[in-house]
Amino acid sequence: MRIRDRRADDVPEINLVPLIDVILVLIIFFVITTTFDARSVLRVELPRATGEANTGSDSLSLLINAEGRYFVDDREALRTDVESLKRTLLEVAGDDRDRTVLLRADARTPWQAVVTAYDALAQLGFTRVANATAPEAPAASPP
């Protein structure tokens, strides 16, 4: 008489419910954290000027806030010196020097921060720089 071992027929199985729970939590975490927009946090008051708006869709955005901090597209430069700004520009732009750089400096930005930005752009070989301004406030007409 042959005696069978019942344990040999047991097929090991992996319970997928905890794995699915962990994956759903990770998906929710990544969806929530990627919806934050860094530009909505930065408040910049642009200087006012008259003229036509000319924005390129492939332009590189260089933002300088009122404290003199630099933001290239959505990446912040670690320090406010030329070398740090150049490193950040290289990381974002790569080898493309033909892109237009849209310089958005707050109206309260120290002039040295703007000069440092121009210096870094010139050292890297960017030749097309546009300054962003806000439109002039309409003058109130006399009654």
What's the pLDDT tens digit per position in 68-110? Answer: 899 998 888 988 899 999 999 999 988 888 888 999 988 888 8
- What residue numbers bound the domain in which 68 lies? 39-135
Instruction: Report yes or no: 89 and 121 within 8 Å, Cβ to Cβ.
Output: yes
Phi-psi category of 101—alpha, beta or left, where left has phi over 0 and alpha has psi -120 to 50? beta
User: Is residue 32 included in any domain, yes or no?
Assistant: no
Q: Quick one: which of 78, 72, 67 has its CA closest to 121? A: 72
Please report how the helices 82-93 and 111-124 are oriented relative to each other, as an axis angle in degrees rounded to 10: 50
User: Is residue 65 included in any domain, yes or no?
Assistant: yes
Q: Quick one: which of 20, 30, 86, 98 has its CA closest to 59? A: 98
Instruction: List the CATH number of the domain containing 48.
Output: 3.30.420.270
Q: What's the structural domain count of the chain?
A: 1
Grade residue 41 by pLDDT with cuts at 50, 70 and 90. low
Token representation of residue 43 = 């408040």
User: Is residue 15 included in any domain, yes or no?
Assistant: no
Q: pTM here?
A: 0.59
